[in-house]
Chains A and B, each alone.
Chain A
Amino acid sequence: MHELSIALSVVELATEQAREAGASRVEAVHLRVGALSGVVSDALRFAFDVACRDTPLAGARLVIEEVPIAVFCPKCRAERTLRAARLRCPVCGTPTPELVRGTELELTVLEVDDNAPAYR
């Protein structure tokens, strides 16, 4: 369970970015979490609420976009989306070492409220 460490990193990055944007309150944090990122979204949601306490993110919503694994099949010469972390083309069965998506763990967007009283 390293989702608490990850959640603390999310809060740290979001706090820093909100401050840079001159925002006092963060209402929502949007993440992209790949199926091969090693992070479990439910555990992260739980940890996030704890990690936000006493920060400018307190009470913020966490919006997670789950990114499925996508690979490039060298035989079909096509991108394929996988339902499980089994790196084979679902159409022709060829092993597909080339990952196109699925490892990301990215903070994409913050929603901030400029009218809220500043966090102290």
Chain B
Amino acid sequence: MPPRIVEVRQAVLKKNDLVARRLRRAFADAGVCVVSLVSSPGAGKTALLGETLRRLTPTRRVAALVGDLATDHDAVRLRASGAPVRQITTGTVCHLDAEMVERAAAGWDLGSLEFLFIENVGNLVCPSSYDLGEDLRVVLLSVTEGEDKPEKYPTIFATSDLAVITKMDLAAAAGYDDALARRSLADARPDLEVLRVSVRSGLGMADWFDRLNAARAEKRARIEV
């Protein structure tokens, strides 16, 4: 007898998408703007996040979740800013999923926050498939890692809202070619916004904070409509 055909037509990551939708609703109800950071290991996520928390903490209510395979070193480092930080240790899993975020954020009064940052595990492949309910997915690309990263890892760049080129203070020493990077980014996602920063020299940081404030303003406008 021939097999019976069962039509399914559902997203494989339906479960993650459902949790992400629930998170997005909870974040909207709380009025918190959620920004996730993704990049390869060592591109400077923790440095950018550390400086961001340090500069925002005196005047804004911010918190962060940080994902790593092992250790709570990043959380310890980031807590020096005074902001509440929770570590998500994934064990062998190379990405965060919506359930991990939901579990880690449980018990936090989201309504008391203006910004929640989520630092993903350093990886340009796996995080691209998992929606975390964030408002802004930011992909980092450092000047030391090669301008053609967006071509090599198109999915993560195609699913991000903003690219931040980091370590600009090292651009000359690394022989970084901005035109090449721009072309590679545009090929991966033609309408991708791009910022250039150096946490160390402070270059471009004002633009970064402007972009964060704009994301929060956009979100508030969306909620109030």
Interface residues of A (CB under 8 A from B): 1-2, 5-6, 9-10, 12-14, 17-18, 21, 23, 27-28, 31, 36-39, 85-88, 95-97, 99, 103-115
Contact = CB atoms under 8 A, between A and B. Distances in A.
A102 to B, nearest CB: 9
B215 interface: no
B144 interface: no
The 5 A-B residue pairs whose C-beta atoms are closest, nearest first, are: A95-B190, A85-B154, A2-B126, A111-B3, A38-B155
B7 A97 contact: no
B1 A115 contact: yes
A17 B6 contact: yes
Interface stretch (B9-17, B79-87, B197-205): B9-17
A38 to B, nearest CB: 4
Interface residues of B, number: 35
B8 interface: yes
A1 B94 contact: yes
Contact of A97 (B4, B12, B155, B190): B190
B140 to A, nearest CB: 17
Given A9-B15, A36-B154, A105-B13, 5 more contacts: A38-B129, A96-B190, A97-B189, A109-B5, A112-B4
A106 B12 contact: yes
A109 B125 CA distance: 27
B10 A106 contact: yes
A9 B12 contact: yes
Central interface residue in B8, B11, B156, by most chain A CB within 10 Å = B8
Interface in B9-41: 9-16
Contact of B129 (A2, A28, A87, A107): A2
B167 to A, nearest CB: 25
Majority DSSP secondary structure for residues of B touching A: mixed
Contact of B12 (A27, A28, A107): A107
B6 A13 contact: no
Interface of B: 1, 3-16, 93-95, 97, 125-126, 128-129, 151, 154-156, 158-159, 186-191
B39 to A, nearest CB: 15
B4 A111 contact: yes
Contacts of A12: 15
A75 B156 CA distance: 26
A86 B151 contact: yes
Contacts of A96: 190
A114 to B, nearest CB: 6
B129 A106 contact: no
Contact of A111 (B5, B97, B126): B5
Nearest to B187: A86
Nearest to B16: A9
12 contacts: A1-B94, A6-B129, A9-B12, A13-B8, A17-B10, A88-B187, A88-B190, A103-B158, A105-B12, A111-B6, A112-B6, A114-B1
